[in-house]
Amino acid sequence: MRTLRIVWQWVRPYRGRLALSLILVALQAVIAVALPLLLGKGLVDYVLLQMRDPAILALAACLAVGLVAVKGLVSYGQVYWMNFIGQRLVTELRSALYDHLLKLPLDFYSRRRSGELVSRMTNDVAAVQQAVSLSIGEVFQYSLVLVGTLAAIFWIHWKLALISLAVLPLAGLAISRYGHRIRSFSARMHDRIGDMAAVLSETIGAIRVVKAFTLEGLTRRRFQEANERSFTMSMKSVQAQATLRPVVELILVSGMVIVLWIGGREVIAGRLTVGELMSFLAYLSMLSQPVGALTHNYSLLQQAAAAGERIGRLLAMTPEPQYAAKLARLPRVAGRVEFDRVSFGYDPQKPVLEDISLVIEPGETVALVGPSGAGKSTLVNLIARFYDPSQGTVRVDGHDLRTVDPQSLRRQIGLVPQDPVLFGISIAENIAVSAPGAGMDQIRQAAELANAHEFITRLPQGYDTVAGERGTNLSGGQRQRIAIARAIMGDPRILILDEATSALDSESEAAIYAALSRIRQGRTVILIAHRASTIRLADRVIVLDRGRIVQQGTHQELIQRPGLYRRLYAELLGGDLAMGAGA
C-alpha cells in the first residue's frame, strides 16, 4: 500500500486521462465477455439449431465482426492513453529526480556511487513506466474479464462452474509463492545492475588513470564480475517468471479437461445445450488468458513496486538547507572570514579539523600549507558551506553560514580546483557559467586576465570550440586557465585557489601570478599551496597539521624559525631555504 501511495502521487496529475483509459478498458472487457455468449448460446442454439434462418445467421455474423471492430478501436484508445500517461510520467519523474539530485548535499554523494544513481534514473524509472503504461491497464482489464467470465459460467451451469473452479486455489497458491520470489529476485537484480553501472561510471570517469597505470585488466575483471552477478540474479528472476505461467496454465487446463468430460455427460442427459457447453468451454479457455496475464503483470508490478520504493527513498533524502527551509540571502560582502572553534569530520568518529580559530580579513591573501590530509581542502569546503561544522561556527562578514542561503554565499565565492571540470559546451559558455548573460567582451577580458585568450584564439573555432566532456579536448593547463577565467567572471568577494597553477608551465605560471596580483585587489584570496612559488602571493601563511593550526605568520617570519613550515618548505614545497629567506 505504501508503494501504491507513492506511485499514485506521481500518477495523480493525469487522473482524468487515467479514468478515460480505464473506461475504455472496461468497454473492452465487456465486449470480450459478451462474444462467447453471443457465438455459443446465441449463434449455435438460437440461430443454427432452432431458427435456421440464413438472414439471421448473416446478421449475427455481422454483429460479431462489428463487436470485434469496436473492441479494436477501444483497445487502440486505451493503449494510446495508458502509454501517454506512462511516458509523461517518465519524463516528469526523471526531471524531478534530476532536480532533487541537484539539491542534495555533498555528503550524500560521498556515500553513494554515481552508477547507483544512474540506475535509479534509468532502470527503476523504466520499471515504473512499464507498470503504468501496460500493467495497470491490463490488470484492470483482465480483472474485469475474469469477474465477467466467472459470472457467465455460473449463470450457464453453476454446478459445473463449482467443479471447474476447484482448481483455482491451487493456481492462487502458485501465484503467491512465485510472486514473492520474483519480487525478491527483482530487487536484488536491480542492486546488481547498480553495482555494474557504478563500475562503468568509475572507469569512464578515471579512464586516463586506468590507461596510465595499465589497469584495463583490473577494471575489466571488476566489470565482468559485476556483470555476471547481474546475469545470475536476472536468470533467477526469469526462472521464477518462466515457471509460474506454465504451472498455472497446467492447473487450469487440467480443470478444463475434467469439465469437458462432465459437461459432455450433461449434454447427453439433456441438462445442457450444445451452445451452452461451447460458451462454457470458451469461457474456461478465456480464464487462462486473464489468469496468465494477471500472473505476468503481477511480476511486473512486483518489480515496479521495488523500483518505486527505491525512487521514493531517494526523493525522501533531505536536500540542502536552502531547499529545506527559507534562509536569508547573504548581502554583498567585503570578504571577512572567521572560524570560531570549528571542528569537523566526514566521519563523526574521525575528526579532520579540531578547534580551528582563524580570522581572514577582507582583501587579505592567505596561503594554507600542510602535509597531505592536514585538512586544507576541508577548511575551504566549510567556507563554501559544502559541509557544516560539527562544532563551532563559520562566519562571513559576521553572518553565521548556517543562517544564510548557501547559493547566495556561493555566488560570492570563486573556486578554482586543482583538477577543474569543464562542461561539454563551448569555451565561452564554460567561462560565462558563473555570470549568465555576460557578453563576449566580458568573457574575453576574463580570459585575458587568466592568460587564456591567446590559446583560445588558436583553437579551431576559437571561443566557440566545444570543451568536450569534462574538458577532455584541452590540456590540464588550459583547463585550469579557463577555470580561473570562470572564477573571475563571477566577480567573487572570496577567491579560493586549490593549487590552481599546478599544471602550468613556468611562462604561464608567471602570467597567472601577474593576473592574480591584479584581480586579488579588494578580494579575500585563499590559496591551498603545494608549491613554494605559490606562497609568494600570500600576505600570511597558515600551517595545518592533523587538523590543527600549528603555525601562522608571514613567509619571512616562518622561514626564520624552526618548525613544520620550514621543513615543508624545504622538503615538500620544493623551496630553497636560502632563497626563501631572502625572498
Domain ranges of the chain: 2-318, 328-412+494-583, 419-491
Q: Do domains 328-412+494-583 and 419-491 have the same CATH topology?
A: yes
* Highest mean pLDDT out of 268-282, 510-524, 540-554: 540-554
User: Cα angle vertex 480, ends 534, 353, to 5°?
Assistant: 55
Beta carbons within 10 angstroms of residue 316's beta carbon: 9
At residue 242, the pLDDT reads: 76
Crossing angle, helix 2-11 and helix 54-103, to 10 degrees?
Answer: 100
- Distance between CA 231 and CA 10 in Å, rounded? 31
- Mean pLDDT, residues 555-578: 76
At residue 391, the pLDDT reads: 93
pLDDT, tens only, 347-398: 878 889 999 999 999 989 999 998 888 889 899 999 988 888 999 999 999 9
Is the confidence at residue 576, as pLDDT, over 60? no
Distance of CA 135 to CAs 75, 129, 292, 302, Å? 14, 9, 13, 11
**Cβ atoms of residues 93 and 10 within 8 Å:** yes
C-alpha closest to that of 488 among 429, 537, 446: 446
Distance of CA 564 to CAs 379, 528, 573, Å? 19, 16, 12
Q: Is 175 helix (H, G, I), strand (E, B) or coil?
A: helix
Q: Convert 411-456 into a string of H (helix), E (strand) and C (coil).
A: CCEEEECCCCCCCCCEHHHHHHHHCCCCCHHHHHHHHHHCCCHHHH
- Mean pLDDT, residues 537-549: 90
Give the pLDDT band (50/70/90) at residue 509.
low
Is the confidence at residue 574, as pLDDT, over 70? no
At residue 65, the pLDDT reads: 80
pLDDT, tens only, 29-58: 888 887 777 766 666 666 665 666 666 667
- Mean pLDDT, residues 488-499: 85
For all residues of the chain together, what is the average pLDDT?
Answer: 79
State which H helix or E strand residue 582 sits in. helix 577-582
**Cβ atoms of residues 450 and 408 within 8 Å:** no
Q: Name the percent of the chain lying above pLDDT 70.
A: 83
State which H helix or E strand residue 240 sits in. helix 216-268
- Mean pLDDT, residues 168-193: 70
C-alpha closest to that of 295 among 128, 177, 438: 177
Side-by-side strand order, sheet with 337-344: 353-360, 337-344, 391-396, 399-400
pLDDT, tens only, 186-238: 777 777 777 777 777 777 766 766 776 677 777 888 888 888 888 887 787 77
- Mean pLDDT, residues 570-578: 59
Give the pLDDT band (50/70/90) at residue 579.
very low
Q: DSSP labels for 67-131? A: HHHHHHHHHHHHHHHHHHHHHHHHHHHHHHHHHHHHHS-HHHHHTS-HHHHHHIIIIIHHHHHHI
CA–chain centroid gap for 252, Å, is: 43
Bigger pLDDT: 271 vs 4: 271
The matching CATH number, chosen from 1.10.275.30, 3.40.50.300, 3.80.30.20, 2.30.30.140, for 419-491 is: 3.40.50.300
The CATH number of the structural domain formed by 2-318 is: 1.20.1560.10
**Cβ atoms of residues 456 and 485 within 8 Å:** no
- Mean pLDDT, residues 273-297: 75
In degrees and rounded to multiples of 5, residue 190 shows phi and psi of -65, -30
CA–chain centroid gap for 203, Å, is: 18
* Highest mean pLDDT out of 375-384, 412-421, 445-454: 375-384
At residue 324, the pLDDT reads: 58
Residue for grid cell 450444445: 274
Q: Convert 486-503 into a string of H (helix), E (strand) and C (coil).
A: HHHHCCCCEEEEECCCCC
At residue 179, the pLDDT reads: 67
At residue 172, the pLDDT reads: 64
Residue for grid cell 487502440: 76
Residue for grid cell 608551465: 505
Specify the range with the lowest mean pLDDT, choosing from 304-308, 396-400, 549-553.
304-308
C-alpha closest to that of 500 among 524, 514, 484, 520: 484
CA–chain centroid gap for 132, Å, is: 19
Q: Which residues pair with 413 in a beta bridge?
A: 494
At residue 52, the pLDDT reads: 60
Q: Which residues pair with 504 in a beta bridge?
A: none
**Cβ atoms of residues 284 and 139 within 8 Å:** no
Q: Is 89 helix (H, G, I), strand (E, B) or coil?
A: helix
- Mean pLDDT, residues 573-579: 52
Is the confidence at residue 285, as pLDDT, over 80? no
The model's pTM is 0.64
**Cβ atoms of residues 449 and 518 within 8 Å:** yes
Q: Name the percent of the chain lying above pLDDT 90.
A: 10
Give the pLDDT band (50/70/90) at residue 548.
very high
* Highest mean pLDDT out of 213-217, 322-326, 552-556, 577-581: 552-556
At residue 505, the pLDDT reads: 61
The matching CATH number, chosen from 3.40.50.300, 3.40.50.1000, 3.30.70.1560, 3.40.640.10, for 328-412+494-583 is: 3.40.50.300
At residue 180, the pLDDT reads: 67
Grid coordinates representing 382 are 566549510
Is the confidence at residue 344, as pLDDT, over 70? yes
- Distance between CA 573 and CA 534 in Å, rounded? 9
pLDDT, tens only, 76-125: 887 888 888 878 878 888 888 888 888 887 778 777 777 678 778 877 88
